[in-house]
Structure 1
Amino acid sequence: MEKNGYKPGAITCRTILNGLCKIGQTSMAIRLLRKMEEGNFELGLTAYSTIIDSLCKDRLVTEALNLLSEMMSKGIQPNAVTYNSLIQGLCNFSRWREATTLLNEMEQRKIVPCVRAFSILVDAYCKEGMLIKAKEAFNVMIERGIRPNTIAYNSLIDGYCLQSKMDDAVKTFNTMDERGFSPDVFSYNILINGFCKNKRIDEARSLFDEMSTKGVALDVVTYNTLIGGFCRVERPRAALDLLHKMQACGQLPDPQTYAILLDGLCKNKKIGDAMALFQEMKDKKLDHNIVFYNILIDSMCNAGKLATAREIFSGLFAKGLQPDVRTYTIMIKGFCKEGLIDEASLASLLFGPRFTLIKIWAMVYTDQDLGHVNNIHYVEIPLHLSKFLCKNGQVVEAIKVFHEMEDKSLGNNIVIYSILIDGLCNVGNLTVARELFYSLPAKGLQPNVRTYTIMLKGLCKEGLLEEASEIFEKMDGSGCSPNDRTYNTIIQGLLQHNKTLKAIKYLEIMVDKGFSANATVASMVFDLLSSNQVDKNIQEFLQKLV
């Protein structure tokens, strides 16, 4: 427009800015914002809030917070919409402390948080397994006169289901109904899924039947969940019957339906039924999906029928199907399981005798012509091989594979380092494990929560509790918050070495964050109570846990 002599006005610019954010072009939107500032356009809250929301969706939360500060320094105050975007963005990164701070800040600024802000926080806590915090946020919402909606209830029900607290999930489900919120299809699907995962299939089926009587339309997710549930409790015939009922009711199965049922039949060793279903899919021309073939190949590998697996794999290209990462890793896992770890023989079985694994990794990484191999993710094959070797105590061999990967610039991956550190700790080679762990920042790698937990477990096992505590207490400052496994690992290590006071300190923090003690830690706490080795205040705290 400017090249043709037209100067866009404020309304035009705001419209373009909004459109750029909607299509994910946030950086262009920011450049337009700066031009508008230079052109002395009057910029209101909407323009800044739109970009803040877009930055949060792009997972650039720090940049969004910086823009908030810049906006406020210009005298533009945020509203509930602005805060909701930031709370959602922070929760996506497990930065719930900052999200809670923003929620409190809203109240201080006389901005009434809406149900959406609390729902976001409840959902984030639930997904992190922090049920106590989730319930607290839910209760605060009610105390402030904000009526929870169906989404908030569904989040809490899902949180209970994820922690296998099905009685609490049912209680919340019933409370929702009593307070005038009719459970929707999502509410039912969440609860049915919880029952299925806990192998309480009859209760899941009862809810399934209740949906029809209460006029809640069943969707494909409902059917898929219950079909998967029947397979999980070794009732594949009931799963097949449900598929037929689904079709009779006019609900079309989707690829996920067939994948769940095919996988369930294979895992229940109903290979004949699985092949009959697969034939039905072929007759309906529904088989042209690599996921289905992956399931069949995996079932053959698990049954030790490598020749059949290889035959199915080889036939993919004639069908016009491209093997994906999972296809290759299933094959490699199958051969590793049988002890066929010699890289030359493994490579020739999969790709022909002219390739070795290292050559394949290097060629895939540099995108050289490998025909059908070209789409495989370059770290997936060595990752599986390293994992297999470490699990079988062959850490020296795993390190050889790792060094070859480094030579080909394939080793810069935190997952592979975590596997190696774990393997080294398991065989008692803590010195090398520590060297690898402490070398990560120099390699431009940030340990994730799994890496930290592995290292803490190794240090505790060797009685190096001071070092373990030091690493643990630096986690938050490194941008990696401990999860329930991390807390349980360090607490268990401290209790095993009679460091009771520090263990209790971490236990209190863990509970305050909404995490629960695992079975091992709970048992150790019970033993501690029985021994009368702690003072009265600590005893009272521990008694609340068991």
Structure 2
Amino acid sequence: MFLPVFAGFWQQMQKAEAVIIDGIRIGVLPDVVTYNTLIDGYCRFSGMDAAYSVLYRMREAGISPDVITYNSLIAGATRNFSLEQSLDLFEEMLQSGITPDIWSYNTLMHCFFILGKPDEAYRVFKDIILKDLSPHPVTFNTMINGLCKHGYTSNAIMLFRNLQRHGFIPQLVTYNILINGLCKVDRLRAAIRMLNEAMDSGLEPNAVTYTTLMKSCFRSRQYERGFEIFSKMKNKGYAFDGFAYCTVSGAFLKLGRFEEAKFCMEQMIKNDVGIDITFYNTFINLYCKEGKLEAAYKLFDEIEPRGLECDVYTHSIITNGLCRVGNIEGAMQHLNCVYTTGFASNLVALNCLIDRLCKAGQIDRAIRLFESMETRDSFTYTSLVHNLCKARRFRCASKLLISCSRDGMKVLKATRRAVIDGLCSSGFTSEARKLKFKLRLARHFR
């Protein structure tokens, strides 16, 4: 998908170059605006080398770069997460006798934030104030957003209040940034107070505002409040995106309210909301939890004709659904079909299958599957060790636990204790002592 899009942009840049050449032929010479537009295009779609090369062409044509030229280049370097290049370009601009404007500083501040340097970003902000530049609302929003994203939400609010005292009139975008920041640190009440403040100021919250709050309510298990926000959005006539519908449907699923989750799905289809793989995963999961595998497979079969691709979660959900109804053979067949079509190994689905095989009393088969896996994680080991203990196969569990420690994986402390206690109760006290020693040794070298 990416390559055709990139090729399309490159063709557009070639057409732009052709237009400049045609203009020169008929006597219409390019000016600084022409070259600045070209630099911006190359920065966005081709790369910094191609964009920077335009500078040489400008100078050869006797055209001096201006602040917009360098702002475009600094923005391009920022998009490439290159702080060193951004700083070099800023320094080059100063040495060329070009005075940076507010957008130069805004871009540099944004670059420091996205590269995890909030202290340096704050110093740029102080420079803006000290140099008596006229800050733009984007300046304040960049600073507030950067502080929130780096966990300094309280500092962001203090800055916001200070700006208000000095006459800053925030727009909805500022309130949305603060509401999002408060929600991320689980300060839901403060976020709702911020929403009320925005409304008292005559601002009308939008879908972004409500969706942010709704998601935070569900994460905090305040489901009813989240549903109230969803209802308020509907009453105000806001258009929902797939994310909002899937968020609400997921909340209904967690509460076991399947009919309401289905209603959301129907509304999503009725309103022709952009349906993506998240939509299918959510509702395939719904049907699997209800044991309606036929309906789940019907949705599964729709994915490819819609031009979408299944991901690891899709196959994990189907595998888990088959296991839940006791159809382990069907789950194995599904995964085999997945692998024959070239899909990479699905660790989540295999972990689920191992657990279900153990619960069905097929531990030896689970061990064989475990041994065939190319990749394992802590859950793989924990699940198998736990189930071996339940089957009182403590010596086998002990060997697996040692292997797990050597591979650098962590197993739950309770599971480790169950193996040691099991060995002792079965009369293998010497092996229990050896296991303790090997586990301590493995932790030491890790």
Q: Deviations over 1:17-38 (max 9, x none)?
A: 2211010112331243245445
TM-fit CA distance, 1:298: 4.5
Greater mean deviation of Cα atoms: 204-213 or 230-239: 230-239
For 2:419 and 2:397, the matched residues in 1 are separated by: 16
Q: Deviations over 1:246-269 (max 9, x none)?
A: 359746451232222223333453
Matched with 2:441 is 404
Matched with 2:388 is 338
CA pair 182-391 structure 1, distance change in 2 beyond 3 A: farther
For 2:150 and 2:270, the matched residues in 1 are separated by: 41
TM-score (norm 2): 0.71
CA pair 332-153 structure 1, distance change in 2 beyond 3 A: closer
Matched with 1:20 is 77
> 5+ unaligned residues in a row in structure 2: which ranges?
1-51, 422-431
Q: Deviations over 1:230-249 (max 9, x none)?
A: 334555454334334x3597
> 5+ unaligned residues in a row in structure 1: which ranges?
317-322, 349-355, 362-378, 411-546
Pairing of 1:29-428 with structure 2 (within 5 A): 29-37=86-94, 40-244=97-301, 246-247=302-303, 250=306, 252-255=308-311, 256-282=313-339, 285-291=341-347, 292-301=349-358, 303=360, 305-316=362-373, 323-326=374-377, 329-331=379-381, 333-335=383-385, 337-339=387-389, 340=394, 345-346=399-400, 360=406, 379=408, 381=409, 383-384=410-411, 388-389=415-416, 404-405=441-442, 407-408=444-445, 410=446
Pairing of 1:376-525 with structure 2 (within 5 A): 379=408, 381=409, 383-384=410-411, 388-389=415-416, 404-405=441-442, 407-408=444-445, 410=446
For 2:303 and 2:396, the matched residues in 1 are separated by: 48
SS at match of 1:324: coil
RMSD (Å), alpha carbons:
3.7
CA pair 343-311 structure 1, distance change in 2 beyond 3 A: closer
Structure with greater Cα Rg: 2
Matched with 1:469 is none
SS at match of 1:338: helix
CA pair 127-269 structure 1, distance change in 2 beyond 3 A: farther
SS at match of 1:384: coil
For 2:383 and 2:420, the matched residues in 1 are separated by: 16
CA pair 282-82 structure 1, distance change in 2 beyond 3 A: same
For 2:196 and 2:98, the matched residues in 1 are separated by: 44
Percent pairwise identity: 20
Residue identity in the other structure for 2:400: L
Q: Deviations over 1:379-425 (max 9, x none)?
A: 4x1x22656336889899998567535643x3xxxxxxxxxxxxxxx
For 1:51 and 1:341, the matched residues in 2 are separated by: 60
CA pair 108-398 structure 1, distance change in 2 beyond 3 A: farther
Q: Deviations over 1:511-540 (max 9, x none)?
A: xxxxxxxxxxxxxxxxxxxxxxxxxxxxxx
Greater mean deviation of Cα atoms: 265-274 or 12-21: 265-274
CA contact (8 A) 2:223 2:251 kept: yes
CA contact (8 A) 1:29 1:51 kept: yes
For 2:198 and 2:401, the matched residues in 1 are separated by: 59
TM-score (norm 1): 0.59
For 2:92 and 2:193, the matched residues in 1 are separated by: 45
For 1:357 and 1:249, the matched residues in 2 are separated by: 42
Q: Deviations over 1:125-161 (max 9, x none)?
A: 3344332122111111111122211111111221222
SS at match of 2:186: coil
Between the two proteins, the alignment pairs up a number of residues equal to 372
For 2:434 and 2:154, the matched residues in 1 are separated by: 43
For 1:287 and 1:234, the matched residues in 2 are separated by: 26
Matched with 2:23 is none
CA pair 47-298 structure 1, distance change in 2 beyond 3 A: farther
CA pair 22-209 structure 1, distance change in 2 beyond 3 A: same
Matched with 1:457 is none
SS at match of 2:411: helix
CA pair 110-207 structure 1, distance change in 2 beyond 3 A: same
For 2:79 and 2:401, the matched residues in 1 are separated by: 46
Residue identity in the other structure for 1:140: E
CA contact (8 A) 2:398 2:435 kept: no
